A and B are shown apart, each in its own frame.
Chain A
Amino acid sequence: MTLAVIPLLFVLAGLVFYIVLAGADFGAAIWQVTAPRTPDGERLRDLAHDAMAPVWEANHVWLIFVLTVTWTAYPAAFGSLASTLAIALSVAAFGIIVRGAAYALSSGTADPREVRRIDQASAISSVLAPFALGACVGALASGRVPYGNARGDLWSSWLNPTSITVGVLAVVFSAYLAAVYLSADAVRRGRDDLVEPFRRRALGSGTLAGVLAIAGLVVLRQDAHALYHDLVFGDGLPALIVSVLAGAITLTLVARRRFEPARYTAAVAVTAIVAGWALAQQPQFLPGLTIEQAAAPRDTLWAIIVAVVGGGIILFPSLALLLRLTLGGTLGHGHHVDGPATDEEDRPAPARPLLPLNAALAGRVAVACLVVGLGLLTAAETGWAHAVGVVALFAFVVSGFLAAVPPLLAADADEPDAETT
């Protein structure tokens, strides 16, 4: 394995995370809009919303990760595919904008009816985003994105049998993932009444996804024969077998109500599909452009590897914390009540000064910092003087704040009803 391939592994891993995590979010939106307008349907919608709200931002950042690593490590390939697939990407962006806006808005809605209305509006676009992104994958897989600035056809590159198949599969698969997750979530929350509806949805959409995947192979055989050949008879075969097995195991697990392990086998199935695609297509990135040719120079590849590994060391524990808190039910619903704190914080606290330090002293420190900062940043010429000057000016803001605000707030707290006119 060469250096040029390593960032691609990051990209593919990011893609798997995006499909598994954000796909489930898009899928949840599909279930929100298709739930019946009955009290049962309302409960389905509420669960789908509450399960996704704390994590959707983090889930969507995987796409940013995929984009940034691609354009750093394979800049020419990125420029080629983004320009040819401009319309597909715009459609995907539209879907992402509306879905994100729906979350932003629902955090301020007062009653559940408004939340539902917003979520329903967003569900249409949640179909668009996975479809368009899946169609982009289909465009790359079927070799319809040539090297060059918008050299491929703006429409037929992503509206063709392979792209449409992958796009539809992405939508159905998102719905399937969401249903599996939400089944597990319903079990975890002790919402037995919701387990069965989501399980039914998971089985239905999972079966449909399986049928579509098989139909997809037929389409590939006609439309992208080279890829089909490598997938079925070449390097992609082991991955294809794994994905079929993992898919079948997942369905079986869902049928037997073993939802937690089903989450992971579903992720294995996604990983295998993505790996199969990559194995079948390599060493080509785009037609006429191999991975080696597309890769940035050595120093850049090392830099991105260092950045991703270093970032991962910080990221994964944090992500694990978020998922642990979310799955453990610690992180709550999207709708807070600005009500009184219920527990120990409600007790009157011991009277303490706002700050342990002397405000007048802080004020003098602030003035001193301002003078130092002014001198070093404005009068001095050298770089280190500017650096110290900037630090001094930040210290001015901090010490100035400490000098100015606590006395004011303390005075206000002492005469609480001093209404000015």
Chain B
Amino acid sequence: MTLLAALPLAQALGPVEQQHLLAARQMQALSFAVHIPLVCFGIAFPAMVLIMEWLGQRTGDPLYRTIARRWSRVMVALFAVGVITGTVLSFEMGVLWPNFTATFGGVFGLGFAIEGFSFFMEAIFIGIYVYGWDRLSPRAHLLSGLPIIVTGFTGSWMVISVNAWMNHPGGFRLVGGRAVDIHPWRALFANDYLWHELVHMYIAGYIVTGFVVAAAYAVARLRGRWTRYERTAMAVPLTIAALAAPVQVLVGDWAAREVAKTQPVKLAAIEGLPKTTRGAPEHLLGWYQDGEVKFGIRIPKMLSLLAFHDPNAKVVGLNAAPPSQRPPINVVRFSFQTMVGIGTFLAALGALVLFLRVRRRRLPESRWFYVAVAAAGPLSYVALVSGWVTTEVGRQPWVVYRIMPTSQAVTAAGGVPVGYAGLWILYLGVGAGVVWILRRLARAPIEVPVSTAVEKEV
């Protein structure tokens, strides 16, 4: 069995006993769940702000500029929160998982080092952009925003390259529990597993940001505030999300095929496939118990068809790995189905938006449409987190797939639950602060210096 080839287990710092491994994992998960939506805004929101500013400069219509300027305040506030949640993550790399970093820092660390530069550039140009309104020439100001979009991409590229390496490690040999013969560039960037993950996440950034921003204006409309300001501010993010959501279905399908190839046990957990099967069926919904999916809707041969484009293809089942090396199946399954379910809803909503646009050239009138958009905001975040749970919990019990178990990576220090509780308290406070500031920014009176603008107080 190739699984055993990697043993003896990798570890640079020696064995550990950590009774609070689960708390450490939960703490890491909490940190990611808080950071990831901010990442989405870092990826996609600058582009939306710049589109608005560009529209304003092109048409000379001050409405666009007003929107861009108000959005840029949201952008910098969320970026500031992203800086601190990202700092927490970088601390946790060492504080929670010292043996992971000690053993493999030389392999994957390069990705984070480059990401650090990317983050740097993002911070610099966000500072220039946000504090440069009215102080730089319009053209210089618009140009100062472009690096923010580029670094949003390079940053996610670097971080995903590390995650892809954890899921599909390469570029080193393991001798006596230590990584030797390390080729960091190859490990990070010559990895087949990188590209679908990167594209999937990058598009997710646009979907989440697009729907969350659109949802804010959908709520405004449901509350009776629907001036040209809201219509314009909704049209841009909603259209971007509407275009990206159907694309994500295709990219997700590609990602699933790559998982089938490279991490068959993860796919088996996603689908609840107990035994290696030819012409494997797919189960929608249901619950995995005692080696089968109960109460699920069975679609014969569908899994083989989706994963390998062949209805009779052989799909590896959970029996390929001993029980101790399987991820928690129902967690992975449930989060996968959540992601796919919401993703399908978002794609359908996006298709509806595009269809109505082509047919009627305006946003729909129906109240239900705005209810759906308002729901799409939070749902897209749920789908995002579900996707990450699928891939990260699906990788368990390994931190580096089939090389290092998570239990070997964790710190030997005590007090992990205290840190976990502390982080909850802190992040609840930060979350309350973010809600407060977003409401405050939204409530600031909209002043469009043109008589045609309609203004209503909340």
Contacts and interface: CB of A to CB of B under 8 A. Distances in A.
A72 B228 contact: no
A68 B106 contact: no
Interface stretch (A25-33, A148-156, A179-187, A254-262): A148-156
A410 B89 CA distance: 44
A89 B90 contact: no
Interface residues of A, number: 117
Interface of B: 12-14, 16, 55, 58-63, 65-66, 69-70, 73, 76-81, 83-88, 90-91, 93-95, 98-107, 109-110, 112-117, 119-121, 123-128, 130-136, 138, 147, 179-185, 192, 195-196, 199, 206, 226-228, 231-232, 235-236, 239-240, 243-244, 247, 250-251, 253-254, 309, 354, 357-358, 361-363, 365, 411-415, 419, 422, 426, 429-430, 433-434, 436-438, 440-441, 444-447, 449, 452-454
Contacts of B206: 397
B interface: dominant SS? helix
B357 A408 contact: yes
B73 A97 contact: no
Contacts of B127: 54-55, 57-58, 322, 326, 331
A299 B196 CA distance: 27
26 contacts: A54-B131, A61-B83, A63-B87, A65-B116, A67-B91, A68-B116, A79-B101, A89-B95, A93-B87, A97-B87, A100-B80, A100-B84, A101-B80, A104-B77, A104-B78, A110-B440, A149-B16, A296-B106, A318-B120, A321-B128, A330-B136, A339-B447, A339-B449, A393-B250, A408-B235, A408-B362
Interface centre among A69, A150, A333 (most CB of B within 10 A): A150
Contact of B452 (A53, A407, A417, A420): A417
A103 B183 CA distance: 40
A338 B133 CA distance: 10
A416 B452 contact: yes
A351 B84 CA distance: 44
B106 A75 contact: yes
Interface stretch (A80-88, A207-215, A230-238, A264-272): A80-88
A321 B231 CA distance: 37
Nearest to B117: A311
A279 to B, nearest CB: 25
A217 B441 CA distance: 51
Interface in A319-355: 319, 321-322, 325-326, 330-334, 336, 338-343, 345-352, 354-355
A82 B101 contact: yes
Given A74-B105, A341-B65, A383-B192, 14 more contacts: A65-B113, A65-B120, A69-B116, A71-B93, A76-B102, A86-B415, A150-B412, A296-B109, A318-B124, A318-B147, A338-B69, A338-B444, A338-B447, A349-B61
Contacts of B228: 412-413, 416-417
A307 B117 contact: yes
Contacts of B58: 352, 354-355
A411 B113 CA distance: 47
Contacts of A107: 73, 76-77, 80, 437
Interface string A393-421: 10011001100110111011100110110
B357 A58 contact: no
A204 interface: no
Interface stretch (A160-168, A245-253, A373-381): A373-381
B405 to A, nearest CB: 14
B12 A79 contact: yes
Nearest to A154: B413
Contact of A352 (B60, B63, B132, B196): B60
Nearest to A298: B182
B446 A338 contact: yes
Contacts of B133: 332, 336
Contacts of A350: 60
A340 B117 contact: no
B14 A148 contact: yes
B125 A318 contact: yes
- The secondary structure that dominates the A interface is helix
Contacts of A387: 195
Given A110-B444, A332-B131, A78 B106 contact: no
Contact of A401 (B59, B60, B243): B243
Given A61-B123, A314-B121, A377 B251 contact: yes
Contacts of B447: 338-340
A97 B98 contact: no
A160 B311 CA distance: 67
B150 to A, nearest CB: 11
A219 to B, nearest CB: 27
Nearest to A344: B138
Contact of A64 (B102, B119, B430, B453): B119
Given A387-B195, A400-B354, A413-B61, A64 B90 contact: yes
Contacts of A339: 447, 449
A261 to B, nearest CB: 25
Interface string A350-387: 11101100000001000000000110011100010011
Contact of B110 (A72, A81, A390): A72
A397 B85 CA distance: 30
Nearest to B254: A377
Give the interface centre of A80, A303, A341 by most chain B CB atoms within 10 Å. Answer: A303
B95 A83 contact: yes
